[in-house]
Amino acid sequence: MASLCGVRFTGPLAPFSEGFAAELARLGFTPLSVRGQLGCIAHLSRWLAEEGLGVNALSAATVQAFLSTRRALGYTAYLTPKALRPLLDYLQGLGAIPWEDPAQPLGLGEELLARFRDYLLVERGLGDRVVRGYVDAVRPFIAGCVDADGVTVKALDSGDVTAFLVAESRRLTPKTLQRVASALRGLLRYWHLEGLTARALDQAVPKVANRRAALPRPLEPAQVEALLSSCDQATVAGLRDYAMLTVLARMGLRAGEVAGLRLEDIAWREGELVVRGKGARRDRLPLPADVGDAIAGYLCRGRPATALGRSVFIRIKAPHRGLTAAGVTQAVAAAARRAGLGTVYAHRLRHSAATRMLARGALLVEIGQVLRHQRVATTAIYLKVDTDALRALARPWPGSVS
């Protein structure tokens, strides 16, 4: 019987306990989290021994059976397949179990999503972020297409397609609904090519109108300063968030572009930053001194030594992987709440950067180059918020004093 961190191990997982504890520490888990993980794994090891199973028996069905037993015994923590993910990754890395995902068995719906994902990545050549958006958008539709037994796709017609989009319109904004409609057309074209539908139903997806005035809503300079000041740079989280907010506010990057920054994208000697934008674009932009200082401060004093991968901005909680676009947006929203600004998301800082450049006399083409717009018309929307410039263009009302 082995004992580690006060947790006793018996059963087939005991020989792996010490190495697994070291791996958790390497990934940045706190001592308390390590102890919690080890307690769950010790329970799994005992359960495997009682069932007469070895390590190689860890499969989707085995994991689900163990978690059902754990819930029935009244445990209140580590009750989902996600709780076992660190152990399964570790065992797979050692070759003790095959490279599959025993924690997440694939039903037909997930299998269809995986096949659609592969089609978008391989056949269409789309980027990872775009593919994730498409897959997430059609996930509810696919769930409704699988029959009650979960073994085949129900017979579909144009009415099913329209009904789904109408239902989604009750909870989504027009802009989001447009993205769902685009993803749905792609899925239905693919299904027709695969023979899952008797005829092409992509034409049944209605066009989504979005006639709302989409004026940018920039923040005032004082509000941007309040956002930055809300970050406590005496903490790791504050250093990271201050650096991200500075990049967003000064350079006008999108949340996904900030999340996608890698260490090799920063050319310190040249004073440039490589931005991985939409459609696999790579753009080199000048790195402002204050932005460089903020990033350097985080890299030197905040970025965890246990970070996995080459992402610049890392999650605070272990495992210390790269931050996602959603994580960047959540950091902006949290800073806005601290600053008393209400609801503010990352894209408003992009608008703020653009309107600041316009107010300082930058040409529209120059702003478009910084924001990496493909069309001048996209940048031209910022002219609508420059009321002082527009006022000079207004013609006097007939009969009034000009």
Cite the active site residues: 254, 278, 347, 350, 373, 382
Q: Which of 150, 318, 349 is nearest to 249 (CA)?
A: 349
Q: How far is CA 77 from CA 50, 67, 71, in A?
A: 21, 11, 9
Spell out the residues 6+ positions from residue 160 whose beta carbon is closer than 8 angstroms to its own: 145
- CA dihedral for 346, 348, 350, 356, sign (positive or negative): negative
Q: Is 245 exposed, middle or buried (0-12, 13-18, 19+ CB in 10 A)?
A: buried
- CA dihedral for 237, 337, 330, 369, sign (positive or negative): negative
Tell me the C-alpha distance between 310 and 201, whole Å: 42
Q: How far is CA 255 from CA 5, 28, 53, 64, 83, in A?
A: 40, 25, 46, 36, 28
- CA dihedral for 303, 219, 329, 231, sign (positive or negative): positive
What DSSP element (H or E) covers 9? Answer: strand 7-9
Tell me the C-alpha distance between 225 and 167, whole Å: 41
Residue appearing with tokens 């070291």: 22
Under 8 Å between Cβ of 382 and 358? yes
Structure tokens at 102: 């025993």
Neighbours of 398 (CB within 10 A): 5
309: left (phi over 0), alpha (psi -120 to 50) or beta: left
Residue appearing with tokens 């990352």: 346
What DSSP element (H or E) covers 85? Answer: helix 85-94
Q: Which of 146, 128, 131 is nearest to 183 (CA)?
A: 131
